[in-house]
Amino acid sequence: MIKARITVTLKNGVLDPQGKAIEHALSGMGFDGVGQVRQGKVFDVELVESDKAKAEADLKAMCDKLLANTVIENYSVAIT
């Protein structure tokens, strides 16, 4: 079995109101020196597949077709 972690983040230049709100909250809590905060998503996926190359190709297809909206988001796949 292969385990993978997919990270989805907003592309540069895409406004992230949630990240901004978190950024302001952190400053308000007294965490000085917080720069920009961007919020993203993490998916931990288990695959029955044992072939790493095939798994990676499948995971990328999953990102392109569902897990990420590539209009606004980037993704990275890490097999753990």
Partner 1 sequence: MKSAVVLLPGLNRDRDMIAALTKISGTPPVTVWQTDTEIPDVDLIAIPGGFSFGDYLRCGAIAARMPVMRAVAEKAAKGVMVIGVCNGFQILVEAGLLPGALMRNTSLKFVCRQVKLQIANANTMFTRRYQPGQIIRSPVAHHDGNYFADAETLRRLEGEGQVVFRYAEGTNPNGSINDIAGIINGQGNVLGLMPHPENLIEAAHGGSDGRALFESALGIAA
Residues that bind partner 1 (CB under 8 A): 14-15, 17-18, 21, 65-67, 69, 71-72
Q: How far apart are alpha carbons 33 and 19 in whole angstroms?
A: 16
Query: Smallest distance, Å, CB 71 to partner 1?
Result: 4
Contact by Cβ (8 Å): 5, 59: no
Query: Smallest distance, Å, CB 6 to partner 1?
Result: 12
With left for phi above 0 and alpha for psi between -120 and 50, is residue 9 left, alpha or beta?
beta
Query: Smallest distance, Å, CB 57 to partner 1?
Result: 19
33 versus 65: smaller Cβ distance to partner 1: 65
18 versus 27: smaller Cβ distance to partner 1: 18
Distances (CA, A) of 42 to 27, 70, 75: 24, 15, 10
